[in-house]
């Protein structure tokens, strides 16, 4: 069967075996942000042709099921499990494809907190298929990205989650602010200094300008300011969670390789233990598990 993780800025169609192993795949930068909704079906078909399977059932997850995607699928309410997600799978209407879409998950609290995810729930379900019984009972997961998700799993359910704005904030500051200027080079020392500064003083909004002041006063080369900022933002994200966890607690980190290194470093800095899992593998496993629970295999 085919499974597809179609997010805001990326597309990945995979042919998977009965055990969820990826046999072939097409990965592009054609996220739902890059396409008009009316062009998405044709785009998917063309990639299915590439993988040689135009008639196979295909199960999708991610922003493709949002208001800016191909077809909007209502959220399920947290806590969410493979059972509730598969029960709420929607067959996409008005297409000759046998296409199904996984819902996102929403969370609201009596204090007025609100949060949503689309796509990450599927990676968490995938991770649960490989987790030990103990891990399925009680685990903390981090899914870094444009909007990082932190989730708590209990009894094999996603029982709580929250979103950190780190990735989009970094991109905004990098592209448009006075904090980062000129050509940048990766700089481990500056990243570490940003991590250390993230818990200083009066909080992030007071710390950000440091990135500029350090350059202006020659304490840091301007070319290292993006690394400093990355440390400051990821440090701020991890520090906020670390204070609620026990020292030495394990955090399961699901993401692409390039984000794994800074997040693992930040987790270590705050006395936590990070374990990294590759994002696309767990999307495939999750989509397969949700499809199987609905007897679509």
Q: Which residues bind a second copy (CB under 8 A)?
A: 106, 108, 111-116, 147, 150, 162-166, 168-169, 172-173, 175-179, 193, 196-197, 200-206, 208-210, 213-214, 216-217, 219, 233, 236-237, 239-241, 243-244
Measured from the CB of residue 81, what is the shortest distance to a second copy in angstroms? 21
> Which of 201/256 has CB closer to a second copy?
201
Report the distance separating Cα 277 and Cα 53, nearest Å.
28
Strand order in the sheet with 11-16: 22-28, 11-16, 2-6, 58-61, 99-101, 90-91
> Which of 101/193 has CB closer to a second copy?
193
> Which of 53/177 has CB closer to a second copy?
177
Q: Which two tokens stand for residue 176?
A: 């448009």
Measured from the CB of residue 71, what is the shortest distance to a second copy in angstroms? 17
> Which of 59/242 has CB closer to a second copy?
242
Report the distance separating Cα 254 and Cα 230, nearest Å.
19
**Residue 244 CB: number of other CB atoms within 10 A?**
10
Query: At a CB cut-off of 8 Å and minimum separation 6, what does 115 contact?
Result: 106, 107, 161, 162, 163
> Which of 42/205 has CB closer to a second copy?
205
Measured from the CB of residue 210, what is the shortest distance to a second copy in angstroms? 6
Give strand ranges (E) for 156-269. 157-164, 250-255
Measured from the CB of residue 3, what is the shortest distance to a second copy in angstroms? 25
Label the pairing between strands 148-154 and 157-164: antiparallel
Instruction: Find the DSSP H helices in 243-278.
Output: 257-269
Report the distance separating Cα 1 and Cα 24, nearest Å.
11
Q: Given the structure tokens 């997850």, which residue do they identify?
A: 61
Cβ-contact 283, 122 below 8 angstroms = yes
**What is the largest distance, in Å, between two alpha-carbon atoms of the chain?**
63
Report the distance separating Cα 77 and Cα 105, nearest Å.
6
> Which of 42/217 has CB closer to a second copy?
217
Measured from the CB of residue 132, what is the shortest distance to a second copy in angstroms? 27
> Which of 126/262 has CB closer to a second copy?
262
Measured from the CB of residue 277, what is the shortest distance to a second copy in angstroms? 22
């Amino acid at each position: 069967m085919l499974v597809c993780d179609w997010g805001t800025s990326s597309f990945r169609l995979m042919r998977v075996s009965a055990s969820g192993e990826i046999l072939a795949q097409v990965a592009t930068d054609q996220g739902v942000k890059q396409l008009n909704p009316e062009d998405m079906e044709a785009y998917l078909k063309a990639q299915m042709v590439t993988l040689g399977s135009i008639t196979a059932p295909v199960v999708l997850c991610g922003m493709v099921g949002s208001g800016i995607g191909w077809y909007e699928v209502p959220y399920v309410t947290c806590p969410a499990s493979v059972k509730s997600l598969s029960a709420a799978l929607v067959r996409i209407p008005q297409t000759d494809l046998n296409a199904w879409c996984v819902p996102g998950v929403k969370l609201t609290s009596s204090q007025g907190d609100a949060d949503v995810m689309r796509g990450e729930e599927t990676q968490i379900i995938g991770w649960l298929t490989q987790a030990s019984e103990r891990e399925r009972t009680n685990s903390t997961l981090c899914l870094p990205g444009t909007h990082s998700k932190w989730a708590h799993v209990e009894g094999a359910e996603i029982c709580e989650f929250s979103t950190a704005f780190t990735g989009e904030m970094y991109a905004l500051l990098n592209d448009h602010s006075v904090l980062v200027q000129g050509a940048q080079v990766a700089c481990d020392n500056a990243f570490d200094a940003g991590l250390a500064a993230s818990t200083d003083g009066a909080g992030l909004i007071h710390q950000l300008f440091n990135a500029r002041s350090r350059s202006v006063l020659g304490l840091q080369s301007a070319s290292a300011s993006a690394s400093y900022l990355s440390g400051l933002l990821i440090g701020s994200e991890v520090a906020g969670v670390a204070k609620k966890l026990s020292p030495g607690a394990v955090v399961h980190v699901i993401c692409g390789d390039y984000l794994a290194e800074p997040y693992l470093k930040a987790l270590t800095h705050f006395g936590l233990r990070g374990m990294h899992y590759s994002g696309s593998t767990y999307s495939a496993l999750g989509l397969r598990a949700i499809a199987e629970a609905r007897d679509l295999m």
